[in-house]
Amino acid sequence: MTTRLQNNGQSETKTKLVEAGIRLMRAKGYNATTVDDICGAAGMTKGAFFHYFKSKEDIARSAIESFRDGKSEEFQNAPFRKLEDPLARLHGRVDFVKASVGGPERLTKGCLVGVMAQEVSLTHPELRGLCQQAFARISEEVTRDLALAKDAYAPQTDFDPASVARFYVSIFQGSSMMAKASDTNTVLMDNMEHFRRYLNFLFAPANPASAK
Amino acid sequence: MTTRLQNNGQSETKTKLVEAGIRLMRAKGYNATTVDDICGAAGMTKGAFFHYFKSKEDIARSAIESFRDGKSEEFQNAPFRKLEDPLARLHGRVDFVKASVGGPERLTKGCLVGVMAQEVSLTHPELRGLCQQAFARISEEVTRDLALAKDAYAPQTDFDPASVARFYVSIFQGSSMMAKASDTNTVLMDNMEHFRRYLNFLFAPANPASAK
DNA sequence: ACGCACATACATACCAGTCGGTATGACAAC
DNA sequence: GTTGTCATACCGACTGGTATGTATGTGCGT
């Protein structure tokens, strides 16, 4: 309980290591990121690393959790969360995501969870579970707003809020991937608008028809 | 030009190596797949491997190209391609994708291009380019049908066929990722239905409004 | 003096890529 | 039709470097 422990009970060194791990794994993925890389980027030595983490998989675990909680908090504190209308909150979220990526040039760093999910799902079951959980958390947040908005504006329209929320997460993840491959953020921004339009359709006063 | 060369001018050994490479990289990604793995899975030795490929990156290149061309051909020969109406072809594509993944239980093996894009975009520029190109090819195919369908059914609706096509690719990729993380195909199948519904909205006779 | 936080050197394993070698078949010379 | 030459296809031990993880040490706060 001395100076080495800060706010949340984590040592500063450990925090720096996790942050470096997140940064590197977001860019290069899990396997291409070495422990030495992480130590170098964090300005620490291997001794420190293995003092806090029992393995590389262990820091990946911490990285996913920290990333998930950080993003979760970021969105929880975002201005759009203060909006009272649930549909407005959904639009606010879309705006927030678009604003977060900045412009078309400045590349998104991508989502750590997305990268990890593809790479380790079949080799590290525990990490796969964490990724799934991280996706679920976002999904649930969006589901809540969707359910409220549906009750308020489109109670008779036939759609499942949870399914639309997973659709949203998929769109975001797929867009991040395309952005990384195409070296521009335009796809991500465009796709957020497509999702917005989908919402507009779902919540249109006189909803034309359900799927096919 | 003897018996060792088959149909397309590729030796059978090389083909087997590439196929094993695709299989493994789809599952574990590029970095976690070792040359020995590939040789083992293909029933070949390192000697054969390095006879045909000058490096691991080299087979990754071949794998992406082969995967891209294989999928391209698979879709080109799919029954829905025979449909005359472009909008029907779009719906046919959605059906075809859903049918391809089988049921909710049987896991998709995921898209090689998607896995590679996340993992190597920032470290192997040439592979990134190949991934981008592979995405672009699907995207262009879908764009053609969307443009024709728009001309035929919704000429005054405000949407860009190319952008909607990229939206489709993103949805598919994001869905594959979620499927891998959640160990079920339901997300992928649900999301195809959401895309179908988006199409229905875009092509609805009396289109309500453009985005926001 | 004891444990925590970190540093350094080391052990071990593994992986991409190499290298010398062999088997096979095509073609030519005679 | 046998022998010699050459190229292609393939084999598998080996190497050099690098990765994860360990063993041991050291300073410091209490």
> A131 is written with which tokens?
């990724």
pLDDT at A8 over 80: no
Q: What is the pLDDT of residue A32?
A: 96
Residue A39: Cβ within 10 Å count: 19
User: To the nearest whole angstrom, how far is the Cα of A191 from the nearest Cα of chain B?
Assistant: 6
Dihedral angle sign, alpha carbons of residues B52, B53, B59, B65: negative
Q: Which of B29, B128, B180 sits opposite A181 (nearest CB)?
A: B128
Record: contact A211-B200, CB cut-off 8 A: yes
Residues of B in contact with A204 (CB under 8 A): 208-209
**Do A40 and A49 form a contact (C-beta atoms < 8 A)?**
no
- Find the Å distance, CA of residue B47 to C1' of nucleotide D6: 20
pLDDT at B132 over 70: yes
Q: What is the pLDDT of residue B59?
A: 97
Record: contact B193-A187, CB cut-off 8 A: no
pLDDT at A37 over 50: yes
Report how far residue A2's alpha carbon sits from residue B206's, in angstroms, rounded to the nearest whole number.
Answer: 68
Q: Give the pLDDT confidence of B32-73 residue by residue, as tens digits.
A: 999 999 999 999 999 999 999 999 999 999 999 999 999 999
Q: Which of A123, A180, A193 sits opposite B118 (nearest CB)?
A: A180
- Find the Å distance, CA of residue A46 to C1' of nucleotide C11: 15
Best of A118, A153, A198 to disrupt the B interface (most B CBs within 10 Å) is A118
User: To the nearest whole angstrom, how far is the Cα of B8 from the nearest Cα of chain A?
Assistant: 29
- The DSSP secondary-structure symbol of B81 reads G
Q: Which residue is nearest to nucleotide C15 (CA to C1')?
A: B34
pLDDT at B178 over 90: yes
pLDDT at B15 over 60: yes
Judge whether B133 is closer than 8 Å to chain A, CB to CB. no
User: To the nearest whole angstrom, how far is the Cα of B85 from the nearest Cα of chain A?
Assistant: 16
Q: How far is CA B209 from CA A7, A159, A196, A207, B158, in A?
A: 49, 20, 12, 12, 9
Q: What is the pLDDT of residue A212?
A: 36
Across-strand partners of B5? B11
For every residue of A57-124, DSSP letters joined together read HHHHHHHHHHHHHHHHHHHHSSGGGG-SSHHHHHHHHHHHHHHHT-SSSS-----HHHHHHHHHTTT-
Mean of per-residue pLDDT scores for chain B: 91
Q: Which residue is nearest to nucleotide C24 (CA to C1')?
A: B4
B30 residue type, one letter: Y
Report how far residue B98's alpha carbon sits from residue B95's, in angstroms, rounded to the nearest whole number.
Answer: 5
Report how far residue A116's alpha carbon sits from residue A173's, in angstroms, rounded to the nearest whole number.
Answer: 12
Contacts of B49 (CB under 8 A, 6+ apart): B17, B35, B38, B39, B59
Contacts of B191 (CB under 8 A, 6+ apart): A166, A167, A170, B171, B172, B174, B175
Confidence of residue A206 (pLDDT cuts 50, 70, 90): low
Record: contact A187-B166, CB cut-off 8 A: yes
The terminus-to-terminus CA distance of chain A in angstroms comes to 61
- Find the Å distance, CA of residue B45 to C1' of nucleotide D9: 12
Q: How far is CA A51 from CA A18, A33, A55, A78, in A?
A: 13, 19, 10, 36
Report how far residue A92's alpha carbon sits from residue B104's, in angstroms, rounded to the nearest whole number.
Answer: 33
